[in-house]
């Protein structure tokens, strides 16, 4: 077993499933299954074509060629040559129709099988009674053309599967594990949670984990899309599939197998491939109706020509078979799933992971995008810019007290304070107890036995600590766009820390793109209004929701929805999870958190707000392809059935033999598949 296997699972060889594209669509997102499916479709097509050619040549449609084999020998040879075409190559349709009917379901396999068997069985009957005409070529050509169309569909879906395989290939097959003080090389699939792994420069990281020893640069470009290597030190997270660039280090495995980031990405894409868009559910219902219409058209056509027009039996049978064949709504069934497969695959290659087809379609309807400030509009890497203390206060002493509490929190602002103390080489008190996190307010605890507060003014005021002595300094910081953090000990405010967070270089451009698409951007922040409005003005956002506590974020999103807006929420933190869940479309940006990613319908692997606009453009392009395909498939079926049924034969002499109907039906499916594939060239 290899590391590749540990992420993809075991894929034993299986025969192509029955039931046409509905049967195999759900399997195409699996990379190994995609290869198997394409190989099987290709093999069946070439076998069918090999036997169909001589059957067609003996049918007598080409002058001179039909006389090479005299009747009735030609009919018997056609019967023999048609057997592998109908009963092996075409079994995926015949077998699929059996299973569909057993489940009281009408799908394309039922209609294809009906057309094939009608042509083939009537031909066998005509051969047995010694009649000089048969329709073996129609049955064989129908199987061959439909197989070709499905082969093209499978190839169109391979793009996503190839993207998944590229992800799996990021995982090395072997890993160096430290056990009992010795280094062993084992298959990645055998690494378990808690194992210590040794990484050398240039090694691919086999699983997710935490760095325990040493510091290094890590290239996460192929996983997260971040172009520059990032510094990683003890305690930092390591993502499986990334590349250890500079130093030999030791890490502890925390997530293996299906729990790794790469495996979860693959699962998201597979789920998206297997899901149905709202338009697809509509198309499925329409297709089921069209199956009934097609079979009914075949029966009515036969009765109309045989009874009403008193036409010869063979004439009625020919028109009937043509009507059944050409009415097959195969193109209608392919219209949306092929576009969804290509769209989600294109998104995955652009580091945009869309969880299901409904989300892919829903992104095109977004009217308002709510963006969290920290980590979305800004870099999410805050740093201390200024410290203001009460008259006679000690700047380093205030920072030391703040850092003692900040060290107990993973909040970005807390990490900035801890980093500032470390950078100034300040001795931080070690005695910290009774620490309590106050979401949306800050953190409190006892530092060296004294009650200490670290947070916004509401935290201090709620504890009965006044901030009037620091109000002027705090207001000045806020006016400069700094996040304001107060420090208090006992009943006295000691100082206020101003923290800056650089705006992402792509934020302003992303906001402009949203506005061009007619989408309203809204900034959502827990910061003071002055700070939030300064950031909003810098990137071009006109509407600001500031001083919003975490538990209020979902309500603010709901309020926008009550205004009649179709809302997307973009965030990266645990505090954003309720708002992500409340929004019509939740978008987790960057590495985010497990909670945020779980609550979101779209995951942007890069920390780039421009990907929000890209995701929306991708959705609009995909929906456009869906509409084009559905329109073509619907118009084709409406126009083609009367022609095939012979409605225009008495007046205009228009008619279609069954084999020509099969060609046109398959051509319609191929047009739909190729139109969906053209989505890959879309500029998003």
d(CA 74, CA 137) in angstroms, rounded, equals 12
- Burial per residue of 287-325, b for 16 or more beta-carbon CB atoms within 10 angstroms, e otherwise: bbebbebbbebbeebbebbbeeeebeeebbbbbbbbbbb
Burial class (CB in 10 A: 0-12, 13-18, 19+), 421: buried
Query: How far apart are the C-alpha atoms of 238 and 588, rounded to whole Å?
Result: 19
Burial of 442 (0-12, 13-18, 19+ CB in 10 A): buried
Q: Comparing C-alpha atoms, which of 621, 96, 28, 634 is closest to residue 332?
A: 634
Q: Which residue among the candidates 372, 572, 584, 608 is catalytic per the annotation? A: 372
How many CB atoms neighbour CB 445 within 10 A?
Answer: 19
Which residues contact residue 509 at a Cβ distance below 8 angstroms, ignoring those fewer than 6 apart? 610
Residue 148: CB partners within 8 Å, gap ≥ 6? Answer: 45, 666, 670
Residue 352 near residue 621, CB atoms below 8 Å: no
- Taking Cα atoms as reference points, which of 366, 295, 349 lies closest to residue 113? 295
Active site residue 372: yes
**Beta-carbon contacts of residue 489 (< 8 Å; ≥ 6 apart):** 401, 447, 450, 451, 452, 453
The residue assigned the tokens 């106050």 is 438
Helix (H, G, I), strand (E, B) or coil at 483: strand
Ramachandran bin of 351, using left for φ above 0, alpha for ψ from -120 to 50, beta for the remaining angles: left
Query: Which positions are catalytic?
Result: 372
């Amino acid at each position: 077993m290899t590391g590749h296997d540990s992420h993809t699972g075991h894929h034993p060889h299986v025969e192509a499933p029955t039931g046409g594209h509905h049967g195999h669509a759900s399997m195409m997102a699996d990379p190994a299954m995609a290869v198997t499916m394409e190989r099987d479709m290709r093999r069946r097509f070439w076998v069918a074509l090999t036997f169909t050619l001589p059957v067609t040549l003996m049918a007598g449609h080409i002058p001179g060629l039909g006389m090479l084999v005299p009747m009735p020998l030609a009919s018997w040879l056609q019967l023999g040559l048609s057997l592998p075409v109908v009963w092996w190559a075409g079994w995926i349709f015949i077998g699929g129709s059996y299973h569909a009917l057993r489940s009281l379901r009408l799908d394309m396999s039922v209609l294809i099988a009906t057309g094939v068997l009608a042509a083939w069985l009537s031909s066998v009957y005509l051969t047995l009674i010694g009649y000089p005409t048969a329709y073996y070529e129609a049955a064989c050509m129908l199987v061959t053309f439909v197989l070709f169309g499905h082969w093209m569909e499978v190839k169109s879906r391979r793009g996503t599967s190839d993207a998944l395989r590229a992800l799996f290939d990021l995982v090395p097959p072997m890993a160096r594990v430290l056990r009992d003080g010795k280094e062993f090389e084992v298959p990645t699939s055998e690494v378990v949670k808690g194992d210590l792994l040794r990484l050398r420069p240039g090694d691919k990281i086999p699983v997710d984990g935490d760095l325990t020893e040493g510091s290094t640069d890590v290239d996460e470009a192929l996983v997260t899309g971040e172009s520059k290597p990032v510094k990683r030190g003890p305690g930092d997270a390591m993502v499986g599939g990334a590349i250890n660039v500079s130093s030999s280090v030791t890490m502890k495995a925390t997530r293996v197998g299906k729990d790794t980031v790469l495996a979860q990405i693959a699962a998201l894409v597979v789920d998206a491939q297997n899901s149905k868009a709202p338009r697809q559910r509509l198309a499925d219902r329409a297709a089921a109706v069209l199956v009934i219409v097609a079979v009914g058209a075949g029966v009515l056509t036969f009765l109309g020509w045989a009874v009403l027009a008193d036409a010869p039996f063979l004439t009625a049978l020919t028109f009937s078979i043509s009507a059944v064949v050409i009415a097959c709504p195969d193109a209608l069934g392919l219209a949306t799933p092929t576009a969804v497969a290509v769209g989600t695959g294109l998104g995955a290659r652009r580091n945009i992971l869309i969880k299901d087809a409904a989300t892919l379609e829903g992104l095109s309807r977004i009217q308002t995008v709510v963006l969290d400030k920290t980590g979305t509009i800004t870099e999410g890497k805050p740093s201390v810019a200024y410290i203001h203390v009460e008259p006679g206060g000690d700047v380093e002493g205030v920072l030391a007290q703040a850092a003692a509490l900040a060290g107990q929190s993973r909040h970005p602002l807390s990490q900035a304070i801890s980093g500032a103390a470390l950078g100034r080489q300040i001795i931080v008190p070690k005695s910290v107890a009774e620490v309590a996190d106050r979401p949306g307010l800050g953190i409190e605890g006892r530092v060296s036995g004294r009650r200490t507060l670290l947070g916004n003014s509401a935290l201090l005021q709620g504890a009965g600590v006044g901030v009037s002595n620091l109000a002027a300094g705090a207001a000045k910081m806020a006016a400069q766009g700094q996040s304001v953090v107060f420090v208090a000990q006992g009943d006295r405010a000691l100082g206020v820390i101003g923290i800056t967070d650089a705006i992402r270089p792509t934020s302003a451009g992303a906001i402009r793109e949203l506005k061009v698409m007619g989408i309203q951007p809204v900034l959502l922040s827990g910061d003071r209004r002055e700070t939030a409005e300064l950031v909003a003005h810098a990137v071009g956002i006109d509407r600001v929701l500031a001083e919003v506590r975490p538990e209020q974020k979902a309500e603010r999103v709901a309020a926008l929805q009550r205004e009649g807006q179709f809302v997307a929420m973009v965030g990266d933190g645990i505090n954003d999870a309720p708002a992500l869940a409340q929004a019509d479309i939740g978008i987790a940006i960057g590495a985010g958190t497990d909670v945020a990613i779980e609550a979101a319908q779209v995951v942007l692997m890069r920390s780039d707000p421009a990907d929000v606009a890209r995701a929306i453009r991708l959705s609009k392009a995909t929906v456009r392809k869906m509409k084009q395909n559905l329109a073509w498939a619907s118009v084709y079926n409406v126009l083609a059935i009367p022609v095939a049924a012979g409605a225009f034969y008495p007046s205009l002499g228009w008619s279609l033999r069954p084999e020509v109907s099969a060609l046109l039906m398959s051509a319609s499916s191929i047009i739909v598949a190729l139109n969906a594939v053209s989505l890959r060239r879309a500029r998003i």
